[in-house]
Amino acid sequence: MPSYAFVDGQYVPRHLAALPLEDRATNFGDGIYEVWVVAQSKLVDEEKHFARLERSLGELKIPMPMEQKAIAQHVRRLIRRNNIKFGTVYLQISRGASKRDHVPAANITPSITIFTNNKPALAEARRAPKKLKIITGPDLRWARRDIKSTSLLPNVMLRMEAHQQGCHEAWMVDDQGMVTEGTSSSSWIVTSEKTVVTRALSNDILPGVTRDTVCELIAQAGYKFEERGFSVEEAKHAAEAFVTSATNFVGPVVEIDGTTIGNGQIGEVTNKLRDLYLRAAGL
Ligand code: PLP
């Protein structure tokens, strides 16, 4: 059975799905995206991702191509059609296509594409947490990192570097030596007093949906919590470190730039938060 993609109102076999040559997400990175995890055929953190989608579009003055309810319906239809029990949904909205010019045509209409990925291995998430090794590097991005834009070049370059070094993720570091976030995840540490620390929300980082849910779980579990910046040095000496993202959930970090974190095993607080998150997500 072929996998289908949704492109501007049509369901098309995934291998035939295409965007126009002058689509602005391709030519300019002029678009936004969202990624959901699917667990038991349901979207994890559905509403929070939709809220961020609408916010990102608003900040870029790209109109919603259709009502949220209609988009959600198409997403669900695609999950059913592609028989996704565990997997991911990628949704992209581009400002649209018009003759390549920095100023778009006045009558341009946004384009929407949605595709799914089948990942049955996600069902095993609880049993097989991957211990993550990360590197750090300069944060070369623009000043509106709170927008989930398809312009991801600095993230891609640094992630390629991490991959080349046999690592899973890279944490980006600002001019003051403070960690902003991962190339596709939020960054966290746990101090020796078991205080959970992550950078406060601002234009410097993406407001991670998983971050938000984990903040709720920290409160529920009764851990101390500080929203503040931390340096690479502090992270290397932390008791625990982890990342959060829709696809990593709560991902334990065991090595930063070759330095082992704690005893090199998954920390107690990280493990607890991971477990709480996976339960809440239906995984
Ligand atoms: N930060 C960046 C730069 C990201 O790209 C992502 C996810 O792709 C995140 C953080 C984590 O966000 P979420 O938890 O919504 O997946």
CA 259 to centroid of ligand 1, rounded, Å: 24
* pLDDT (0 to 100) of residue 168: 98
Least Cα distance to 113 among 9, 21, 11, 6 occurs for: 6
- 83 pLDDT band, cuts 50/70/90, is very high
- 245 pLDDT band, cuts 50/70/90, is very high
206 Cα nearest atom in ligand 1: 1
Residues 6 or more apart whose CB falls under 8 angstroms from that of 192 comprise 238, 239
Encode pLDDT of 22-50 as tens digits. Answer: 999 999 999 999 999 999 999 999 999 99
**Percent of the chain whose predicted confidence (pLDDT) is above 70:** 100
**Percent of the chain whose predicted confidence (pLDDT) is above 90:** 96
Question: Mean of the pLDDT values across residues 59-75?
Answer: 98
* pLDDT (0 to 100) of residue 22: 98
* pLDDT (0 to 100) of residue 125: 85
Lowest mean pLDDT among 100-114, 118-132, 141-155, 201-215: 118-132
Please name the amino acid found at residue 75: V
Nearest CA to ligand 1 atom 3: 184
* pLDDT (0 to 100) of residue 1: 74
Q: Is residue 235 a contact partner of residue 189, using CB atoms and an 8 Å limit?
A: yes
Rounded to the nearest integer, the mean pLDDT of the chain is 97
Cross-strand partners of 138: 173
Q: Supply angle C-alpha 154, 22, 158, rounded to 5.
A: 10
Does the pLDDT value for residue 193 go beyond 80?
yes
Question: Mean of the pLDDT values across residues 175-181?
Answer: 98
Does the pLDDT value for residue 107 go beyond 90?
yes
CA 1 to centroid of ligand 1, rounded, Å: 31
Least Cα distance to 87 among 126, 43, 128 occurs for: 43
Least Cα distance to 256 among 180, 172, 163, 170 occurs for: 170
Ligand 1 touching residue 210 (CB < 6 A): yes
CA 199 to centroid of ligand 1, rounded, Å: 13
- 127 pLDDT band, cuts 50/70/90, is confident
What's the predicted TM-score (pTM) here?
Answer: 0.97
- 11 pLDDT band, cuts 50/70/90, is very high
Ligand 1 touching residue 278 (CB < 6 A): no
Residue 76 φ/ψ, nearest 5 degrees = -65, -40
Does the pLDDT value for residue 122 go beyond 80?
yes
